[in-house]
């Protein structure tokens, strides 16, 4: 059986999702702890989120490209698509913080914790179908 590139219920996709979650948990637990410490000491939740987002996204590219999606395509094209995906994820995170912290007066700690989960799910889908999509050869065989 051929594993279709966009089949979200295949064994390959479940393995990728498991790997993505493990990498994401490691990066985000460390990132969230750092976020809480920096906002406690310094304040500025949105600026702190921005700096940590850039660091986490960079680590995530390297780990997810090789481990999660086992991408063997060009790093340049994947890198540009990854930057676009991360920009969309960053904007989603920022909008969630602005909406829940500035407009609805939720504690930023809770809003950021929820945003991490929402952005992670969004990014897995985008990485799977856009950034690191499996290559299809002329015979329609997925690599």
- Could you give the percent of the chain with pLDDT greater than 70? 88
- Could you give the percent of the chain with pLDDT greater than 90? 69
Q: What confidence tens digit (pLDDT) does each residue in 79-103 have?
A: 999 999 999 999 999 999 999 999 9
- Domain ranges in the chain? 11-131
Q: Which residue blocks in the chain are alpha helix, DSSP H?
A: 11-41, 45-63, 75-97, 108-126
Task: Indicate the pTM of the whole model.
Answer: 0.77
Residue 27 has pLDDT above 70, yes or no: yes
pLDDT band of 140, cuts 50, 70, 90: low
């Amino acid at each position: 059986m051929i594993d279709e590139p966009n089949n979200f219920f295949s064994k390959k996709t479940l393995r990728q999702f498991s790997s993505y979650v493990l990498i994401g948990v490691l990066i985000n637990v460390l990132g969230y702890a750092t976020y809480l410490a920096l906002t406690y000491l310094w304040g500025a939740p949105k600026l702190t989120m921005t700096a940590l987002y850039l660091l986490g996204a960079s680590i995530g590219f390297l780990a997810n490209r090789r481990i999660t999606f086992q991408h063997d395509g060009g790093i340049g094209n994947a890198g540009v698509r990854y930057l676009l995906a991360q920009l969309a994820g960053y904007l989603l995170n920022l909008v969630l913080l602005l909406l829940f912290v500035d407009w609805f007066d939720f504690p930023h700690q809770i809003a950021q914790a929820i945003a991490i989960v929402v952005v992670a799910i969004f990014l897995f889908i985008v990485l799977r179908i856009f950034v690191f999509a499996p290559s299809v050869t002329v015979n329609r065989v997925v690599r």
